[in-house]
Amino acid sequence: MTREEKSIVIEDLTAQLANNNIIYLADISGLNALNTSNLRRACFKANIKLAVVKNTLLAKAMEASDKEFGELPSVLKGNTSIMFSEVGNAPAKVIKEFRKKSDKPLLKGAFIEEAVYLGDNNLDNLVNIKSKEEVIGDIVGLLQSPAKNVISALKSGGGKIAGILKTLSEKEG
């Protein structure tokens, strides 16, 4: 690969890093052609972009990026594949599901909305991360709950007050 080709790849990777807030690094070495193809298919179905990258070029792209990747470049050893997704836990779910049949891919690390996760031991934590839409749904549900309680109390209380007033008016007569 010439110096020009390397700089083009670095620029491309830097742009992809800038445009994605969810980035997973995995080791898929040791997967045979069939399993690699199945993994790519699973990623495609989950709307995840999967690519094998050179560690040195990715490290330079991370360095050139505006994002703070913390210790993530330290995992760039051996075979590295990069996964881009729009949903925070989608790549973790694909990896976990795929590992039911194979011991790979191994999670090297992840960058999710400015948070950095290092090591395969974080896979379960990443699977349980809620998407932005799920968090918004939870918040809306929590905000609606008190309002529904107030409305319910007013409705039932109004009926009680009307009943009490009716009973009192009937007693006077």
For 22, other C-beta atoms within 10 Å of its C-beta total 22
pLDDT at residue 173 tops 60 = no
pTM score: 0.73
Is residue 156 located within the same domain as residue 142? yes
As a whole number of angstroms, the distance between CA 68 and CA 136 comes to: 26
pLDDT of 111-168, one tens digit each? 988 888 888 888 888 888 777 777 788 788 877 777 676 676 666 665 666 677 777 7
Do residues 105 and 27 touch, judged by C-beta distance below 8 A?
yes
pLDDT in tens, 75-125: 989 888 999 998 888 899 999 998 888 888 899 999 988 888 888 888 888
Q: Retrieve residue 131's tokens.
A: 């998407």
pLDDT tens for 8-60 read: 888 888 888 888 888 999 998 888 889 889 999 999 999 999 998 899 999 99
Q: Is 119 left (phi over 0), alpha (psi -120 to 50) or beta?
A: left
| Residue 44, pLDDT score | 93
- The CATH number for 25's domain is 3.30.70.1730
Residues 82 and 144 reside in one and the same domain? no
Does 37 share its domain with 94? yes
Q: What are phi and psi of 83, to 5 degrees?
A: -125, 125
- Shared domain for 22 and 96, answered yes or no, is yes
